[in-house]
Structure 1
Amino acid sequence: MRLKNKVAIITGAGSGQGKASAKLFAKEGAKVVIVEWNEENGKQVEQEIIDEGHEAIFIKTDISSEENVRSVIDQVVGKFGRIDILFNNAGIGFSARSKYKMASLMETPLEDWNKIMSINLNGVYLMSKYVLPIMIEQESGNIVNNSSLNGILGVTGADAYTASKGGVVALTRVMAVDYGKHNIRVNCICPGAIDTPMIAEVLDNEKIAKNFATNPLKRVGKPEEIASAALFLSSDESSFITGLIMPVDGGWSAV
């Protein structure tokens, strides 16, 4: 029960790393707020957590919309009276290739660039902007941002995605410095290849799947392994850690 009675907002909690985190946080005692644009997925995760005897609510949200985000925070504070944890997990990547072009800088249309930024980077900005005043008033809080290995390495082929995730890394550092005086910690996870719906199509390609498994541990990661890292950073076990950029990548960034 490492998060007993904590109120935790998790964005993109309808699938993959967000879903695994929502279920783990609930198991550890948190009241979980599932922020998700896909209503079917969000309701399903909510019900699964409730069926397991834990507390969760689902709020359908577009995190790139300031109006949506403001409404979410108002609803959470109205119901629970506080916010202890924000896991900025939501993002779009390879699974969105049918909607937005994942390509080099010169081949990326401006419209697609802006949309990827609006979700991956602006979503972190907006959620944090409206959660921080609550945490400042409490004089406590934990924010965990989910970036990517692309945010710290020069991975080619999806430059808008890479730039957005690099922005999340930089934003994490400045937030940690700005808000540490309010007893608010801000840290960042940089996952490598994780077996989620976001890269499912890519993993079906045997050649690419083998390339993803060239890290020292010789495999792709599991969503539950990202959830465990997020739990550690959200709990009191990491009480003297802030501004950390944590690769969870099977050692890929060490090579």
Structure 2
Amino acid sequence: MDRRPGSKVALVTGGASGIGRATAIAFARIGMAVAVADADTAGGEETAGYIEAHCDARAAFIKVDVSDGESVKAMVQSTVERFGALDMAFNNAGVPDRAASLHVSTQENWDRVMSVNLEGVWHCMKAQLDHMLVAGKGAIVNNASRSGLVGVPSDGVYGAAKHGVVGLTKAAAIEFAAKGIRVNAVCPGLVETALTHARFGDELLTRARLANPLGRMAQPEEIAAAVVWLCSDAASFVVGVALPVDGGATAR
């Protein structure tokens, strides 16, 4: 076990890149030990290595397939065995919708998006709650999306999964608040990551200008700041929120 007295432990899924990597680093910079979980071994180890080299914090990479409940249970168990606790979790792992339109979406695409983006969050919360209920405390933040709050024509399957994440978040928040566990979600708009560059290509800058009143993409660190706040004592009275971090897109 590698636990410093008084230190807290955070678990981040999808920590190999993008919002997950930025959030893992943000937790580390305020003194958290961080379990970086992902299916991408190279990226996950890079995130954990960066934290240990530059953040004066402990980190460990844990390989996980969030669509597999047994893999997720092992991830949480490894976190607790390594660091001695699990105080907060950011369930961020996700995959994009490969269909440009709902009517051309395939069963394979539906199954893939749902198994990771929705079922994966369910697996993660169940395993995290197993530990947090024994501890009598904890904070969980799920990564939903602007597409989990409003209809986005190009995100039919993705949006359905993310609406499900918002529903799971609210139900869990109500059920477990009295047991000392706060559950919330963040709902990012367009964020500048390798994934968005790969998906939108040359259209990305145009999309960014039109995406919200600010006329730009978010940086991953801006989403990370919201996650860290929701997990902190400063947000101790915030329960069951699906917080838009979208430059005002959903306010239109």
Q: TM-score, normalised by structure 1?
A: 0.93
Query: Are 1:91 and 2:88 an aligned pair?
Result: no
Q: Any runs of at least 4 consecutive aligned residues in structure 1 with deviations exceeding 4 A, and if so which? A: none
Alignment partners' CA distance in 1, 2:63 and 2:137: 26
- In 2: Cα distance, 1:168 partner to 1:159 partner: 14
Q: 2:247 aligns with which of 222, 245, 250?
A: 250
The aligned counterpart of 1:159 is 156
- State the distance in 1 between where 2:180 and 2:155 align: 36
Q: 1:26 and 2:28 equivalent?
A: yes
Code of the residue aligned with 2:202 in structure 1: it is N
User: Which one of the candidate residues 205, 208, 215 is aligned to 1:209?
Assistant: 205
| Distance in 1 between residues matched to 2:136 and 2:70, nearest whole Å | 25
Kept in 2: contact 1:102–1:161 (CA 8 A): no
Q: Compute the RMSD of aligned alpha carbons.
A: 1.3
Residue 79 of structure 1: how far off its partner (Å): 2.1
Seq. identity, %: 39
| Structure with more of its chain in helix, by fraction | 2
| Pick aligned residue for 2:134 from 113, 133, 137 | 137
Is 1:191 the counterpart of 2:194? The answer is no
* Secondary structure of 1:33 counterpart: strand
Tell me whether 1:119 sits opposite 2:121 in the alignment: no
SS in 1 for 2:218: coil
Q: Which residue of 2 aligns with 1:7?
A: 9
Structure 1: stretches of 5+ with no match in the other structure = 95-100
Cα displacement (A) at 1:85: 0.4
Say which of 76, 81, 84 aligns to 1:81.
84
Name the amino acid aligned to 2:81. Answer: G
Provide the C-alpha distance between the structure 2 equivalents of 1:36 and 1:126, rounded to a whole number of angstroms: 14
Q: How many residues align?
A: 245
Q: Does 1:240 align with 2:240?
A: no
- Structure 2: segments with no counterpart, 5+ residues: 1-5
CA offset at residue 203 of structure 1?
Answer: 4.7
TM-score normalised by structure 2 residue count: 0.94
Q: How far 1:58 sits from its partner (Å)?
A: 0.2
**1:98 aligned residue:** none
- 1:122-164 CA distances to partner (integer Å, 9 max, x unpaired)? 1100011011021111111000000111111110123111111
Q: Secondary structure at the match of 1:205?
A: helix
Displacement of 1:106? 2.7
Residue 190 of structure 1 contacts residue 249 of structure 1 at CA under 8 Å; is this kept in 2?
Answer: yes
Aligned with 1:229 (options 226, 230, 248): 226
CA shift for structure 1 position 82:
1.7
Does 2:48 align with 1:51?
Answer: no
Q: Partner of 2:128: helix, strand, or coil?
A: helix
**1:97 alignment partner in structure 2:** none
Matches of 2:148 and 2:85, distance apart in 1: 31
User: Alpha-carbon deviations, 1:203-234, whole Å to 9, x = none?
Assistant: 5324x532332211111100000000001001
1:174 paired residue number = 171
Give distance in 1, aligned partners of 2:218 and 2:209: 9
Kept after mapping to 2: 8 A contact 1:172/1:188: yes
> In structure 1, how many angstroms separate the alpha carbons of the residues matched to 2:71 and 2:207?
39
Structure 1 residue 237: Cα displacement: 0.6
Contact map agreement 1:27 1:54 (CA 8 A) in 2:
yes
**Residue 64 of structure 1 pairs with residue 67 of structure 2:** yes
